[in-house]
Amino acid sequence: MSEQEERGFTVVDKRSSSGGQDPGAPKEPACSAPPSSPPISSERVPKVDFAMLIASFATGALYHMGIAPDPETGRPGERNLPLASQNIDILELIEEKTRGNLGADEAGLLEGLLYEVRMRFVEASKSPGK
């Protein structure tokens, strides 16, 4: 018995030399980014490192506290303290799991960012929501 008969199905390639599409079917564009999104170039995308990782979570926390602006609109983020708290928890987890494995600069940056977002969170928790 052949391998196809053992599996219980047969694959038939009905593509023609027209690229696999029915000649009468409308042509679909190749997959690409939406027209409103500019192509991402390696020049515009910064290199990801530890500092960028923890700054990203700190910025996310500040955004969800309604402090940091949305990068696209420039308006403050919508206040969502549970999400802000989750970002702080992630930073605390990173601190715990990397303890003793960071250079002095990285450890200092993480400690400083954690202090800042915790203090801002306390302030945001005390103030009435928007």
pLDDT given at position 126: 92
Q: pTM score, two decimals?
A: 0.63
Residue identified by tokens 């002095």 is: 104
Angstrom distance (rounded) from CA 55 to CA 77: 16
The DSSP letter of residue 46 is: P
> What is the residue-level pLDDT of the chain in tens, covering all 130 positions?
555 555 566 666 676 655 555 555 555 444 444 455 556 565 677 789 999 999 999 999 999 999 998 888 888 888 999 999 999 999 999 999 999 999 999 999 999 999 999 999 999 999 876 5
H or E segment at 106? helix 104-126
Phi, psi at 121, each rounded to 5°:
-65, -40
Q: Rounded CA gap, 82 and 59, in Å?
A: 15
Give the pLDDT confidence score for residue 32 in this predicted structure: 47
Residue 8 has what pLDDT?
63
d(CA 129, CA 73): 21
Which residues have a Cβ under 8 Å from the Cβ of 11 and sit 6 or more positions away? Answer: 4
